[in-house]
Amino acid sequence: MKLIGQKTQMIVDEPDHEILRLFSAPLYKTHIGINNDEKEILMGEKKWVGQEDNILIQSESDQILNLDGIERIKNEINKHIKKYIKSIISPLEDDTEFIITQSWLNIINDGFHHKHRHQNSIISGAFYVNTTMKDFIEFDSPLAPFWDMLSVSSKELNEFNSVNYREFVHSGQLVIFPSYLTHGVPGRFKTKGIKSQPRCSLAFNTFPVGRLGGSHEQHPGVNTKKIIEERLTIKLGAQHQRNEVKIDSSKSS
Ligand SMILES: [Fe+2]
């Protein structure tokens, strides 16, 4: 079980009492920008599943970050994933790395993106390719189900009594968050007489490789990178041996 130290607890000071924020969920945000060429690569081609009048259109590929011409965006995202890991997960070993396993595009013209969580991922994120001033992402508090047990209206909303949080987003913005956080886009509707811009985001998932678990010599945990490398070496060794056998047998015939 992980316990946080007293140093990491933030304290709300009042003259006669204090309130500790015991646990919270991180939402990392930064601006990495997007230029016209990158936007053209991501939005220009027809690479979508579904028709344009669908509520949510997604890319066929889930390896969008491997497209040519958007290497800068991929590098920036990886750089910020590293910063997130360092400050939030703070791995004991430097060889624990989070790699992007999937990346895909979402487009909403006039509609919504249902509430969801990202499976088979530890940290997820979204990079905003195209947005309007009104676009946001909405997160649900992991404690929201408990608030259903008793509902008391609040005079003022704060991080303890709120069940969701809206972060307004803009083109070029990157957000990173734990994959367990439920999120979505409640509704996006065209304003009469105004030509609407599509909301386009590039979402991604990650998975850790390297040292997992373990905190001392007796219980070192596992190093998934080493295990895979060892298996590949064994496999390549076996392949090499088979080739040698082949060469030998051809010589003898
Ligand atoms: Fe998502």
Confidence tier at 195 by pLDDT (50, 70, 90): low
Whether residues 237 and 138 fall in one domain: no
CA of residue 204 to ligand 1 center, whole Å = 8
Residue 83's alpha-carbon distances to 26, 79, 115, 175, in angstroms, are: 13, 7, 27, 12
What is the pTM assigned to this prediction?
0.83
> Residue 47 is part of a domain; what is its CATH number?
2.60.120.620
Give pLDDT tens digits for 196-211: 788 999 999 999 998 8
Whether residues 76 and 143 fall in one domain: yes
CA of residue 211 to ligand 1 center, whole Å = 27
Whether residues 248 and 184 fall in one domain: no
Give pLDDT tens digits for 55-86: 888 888 899 999 999 999 999 999 999 999 99
CA 189 to chain centre: 26
CA of residue 182 to ligand 1 center, whole Å = 8
Which pair of tokens denotes residue 202? 């590039």
Give the residue from 173, 188, 209 where a domain finishes.
209
CB-based burial of residue 20 (10 Å sphere; 0-12 exposed, 13-18 middle, 19+ buried)?
exposed
Whether residues 224 and 120 fall in one domain: no
User: For the residues 36-44, what does the mean pLDDT come to?
Assistant: 92
Whether residues 32 and 147 fall in one domain: yes
Beta partners for residue 123, in sequence order: 178
CA of residue 11 to ligand 1 center, whole Å = 32
Residue span of the structural domain in which 222 resides: 214-253
Rounded-to-integer distance, Cα 69 and Cα 223, Å: 33
CA of residue 39 to ligand 1 center, whole Å = 20
CA of residue 215 to ligand 1 center, whole Å = 32
pLDDT at 237 over 80: no
Strand 199-209 with 97-108, pairing: antiparallel
User: For the residues 176-186, what does the mean pLDDT come to?
Assistant: 96
Q: How many domains does the chain have?
A: 2
Whether residues 246 and 156 fall in one domain: no
Whether residues 166 and 220 fall in one domain: no
